[in-house]
Amino acid sequence: MKKNLVILTGAGVSAESGVSTFRDSDGLWEQHRVEDVASIEGWYRNPALVLDFYNARREQLPTVKPNAAHCAIAELELDWNVTVVTQNVDNLHERAGSTRIIHLHGELTKVRPENCFNDSDGYSEEKVFDIGYESIHIGDKAPNGAQLRPHIVWFGEAVPKIGQAIDAVEAADVLLIVGTSLQVYPAAGLYAYAKAVTPIYIIDPADVPLKDGRLTHIKEVATKGMETFKNILKSK
């Protein structure tokens, strides 16, 4: 019987494919303030700007490809019961072949009505539409008559799938964290739900803020670190 491997991924995994990271050192994302394009307040202030921003991100997506880290994660399904819990909104894990993915922060290729934000006020998967790489604009309406918005969890919004992610981490026999700085909550606190006996590995070329006796730090970029991690698994 395969053991459970849970992999928490962030922007560092997709960055090596050429995907723009959510926030860089000067606090801008493609020359926009995060507050303007990735918050519910930004949507209320200027929805056209937000739509244009995500249309551009969506248009970029088919021009990038999964990298060796995405592929290595998918290949682990041969020997493990893998669940990918990702903070990324791209579809590179899917395109690499991973089959069980929890998108904490939504998906760039999907949209939903603007009046459906989370479980408490009517959000449900049945109201989410896959548009692929198409653009949406002001005036594009959902069947319920509401303006369509990106299916993205913005700052200031609840994270509907955090419960699924917690369940996965609690059941993990091994937990891997790769490509995330663990600075955005609630995702940053997920590792704390792992069992006391669960080994935790983190792949990050920089120093990490975690102080945990279960932790092994692989100080490499995602593509190289995944090869190191796979070799560690083989040696056990």
Residues of the chain with CATH 3.40.50.1220: 1-19+66-105+158-236
Predicted local confidence at residue 21, as pLDDT = 65
Spell out the residues 6+ positions from residue 18 whose beta carbon is closer than 8 angstroms to its own: 63, 64
Distance (Å, rounded) from C-alpha 230 to C-alpha 10? Answer: 19
Cα separation, 142 vs 140, whole angstroms:
7
CA separation for the pair 31, 164 (Å, rounded): 34
pLDDT at 207: 85
Amino acid letter at 28? L
pLDDT for residue 22: 57
Separation CA 109–CA 96 (nearest Å): 16
pLDDT for 186: 67
User: What is the crossing angle of helices 68-75 and 222-235, to 10°?
Assistant: 30
Report the alpha-carbon distance of residue 200 to residue 7 in Å, rounded. Answer: 10
Boundaries of CATH 3.30.1600.10 in the chain?
A: 23-63+110-152
Query: Looking at the domain that runs over 23-63+110-152, which CATH code has it been given?
Result: 3.30.1600.10
Residue 16, phi then psi, degrees to nearest 5: -70, -10
What pLDDT, on the 0 to 100 scale, is given for residue 121?
45
Average pLDDT for runs of 10 along the chain of length 236: 95 87 54 85 95 93 96 97 96 97 95 72 68 96 91 89 95 95 73 94 87 87 95 87
CATH of the domain spanning 1-19+66-105+158-236: 3.40.50.1220
> How far apart are the C-alpha atoms of 189 and 166, rounded to whole Å?
10
pLDDT of residue 29: 61
- The whole-number pLDDT of residue 208 equals 81
Instruction: Please state, in angstroms and rounded to a whole number, the distance separating the CA atoms of residues 187 and 95.
Output: 23
Residue type present at position 57 = R
CA distance 182 to 162: 15
Active-site residue among 93, 103, 105, 151? 105
Q: Does 70 participate in catalysis according to the annotation?
A: no
One-letter amino acid at 186 equals: P
